[in-house]
Amino acid sequence: MSASAKPSKAQSVRDRLLDAAGILFYNYGINATGIDMITAKAGVAKMSLYNNFASKSELVAAFIELRHQEWLDLYAARLAPAASPKERVMAVFDAYRDHAEYDYENGFRGCGLLNAAAELTVGDKGREAVRRHKEEVEHFLIQHLQEWRTQTGKTLTAEQVKMTAEHLAFLLEGSFSRAGLEGNSKRVQHARRLAESILAGL
């Protein structure tokens, strides 16, 4: 998640375009961001964009994929030191907190993927990619809850595990939406505490 798009000789033109597009899409929205804005911020010629992306839609798709991978990287960093299934559940919340606390150019304004999906039409491949991302997050919660059930000997059915994961996912996404409105991670931190209390009550 790039806070700025300062050209670097080490960066390829494609990466510079993606960094610039990511910042501008997040700051102003996809529809309000034109090709000229992106190439100016990336410091490249307009033709460079079309040499790397067939269209703006292809650039948007690459942006969504990049944001997905960036979140996976945040999650992997939080997951690595997690020593128990419960800590691995909390790692998902901590990755969202890290997302909220990143040094964004114009401040934190919620989930960049959901913001992008809100601008895309129903059936758009980008919206489908965002949906798959959210489903993957929920799948991680299911995995960790299954491990937690086994470790603790809880008599939860597979359906109860799935419902709990869905509950936690809704809690997470709701807190993130509120965090975006408030411009800080406090709601996500509170959601993490609520998640711990939910597990303690099972």
Terminal C-alpha separation, the chain: 36
Domain extent for 37: 11-53
Within a domain: 1: no
pTM of the model: 0.90
Could you read off the pLDDT of 120-145 as tens digits, one per residue? Answer: 999 999 999 999 999 999 999 999 99
Residues 33 and 89 in one domain: no
- The pLDDT score that the predictor gives to residue 124 is 93
- The pLDDT score that the predictor gives to residue 103 is 85
Residues 146 and 115 in one domain: yes
Task: List per-block mean pLDDT (blocks of 10 residues) for the chain, which spans 202 residues.
Answer: 48 94 96 96 94 94 94 97 97 96 91 95 94 97 96 94 97 96 96 96 92
Within a domain: 118: yes
Q: What does the alpha-carbon distance between residue 105 and residue 91 come to, in Å, rounded to a whole number?
A: 25
Q: What does the alpha-carbon distance between residue 56 and residue 31 come to, in Å, rounded to a whole number?
A: 10
What CATH code is carried by the domain that includes residue 15?
Answer: 1.10.10.60
- The pLDDT score that the predictor gives to residue 10 is 65
- The pLDDT score that the predictor gives to residue 142 is 98
The residue type found at 30 is I
Question: What per-residue string of b and e applies to 114-149 under the rule 16 or more CB within 10 Å gives b?
Answer: ebbbeebeeebebbebbeebbeebbebbbebbbebb
Within a domain: 95: yes
- The pLDDT score that the predictor gives to residue 5 is 41
- The pLDDT score that the predictor gives to residue 11 is 84
Residues 48 and 82 in one domain: no
Q: Which of 53, 71, 87 is the last residue of a domain?
A: 53
**Three-state DSSP class for residue 105:** coil
Residues 23 and 34 in one domain: yes
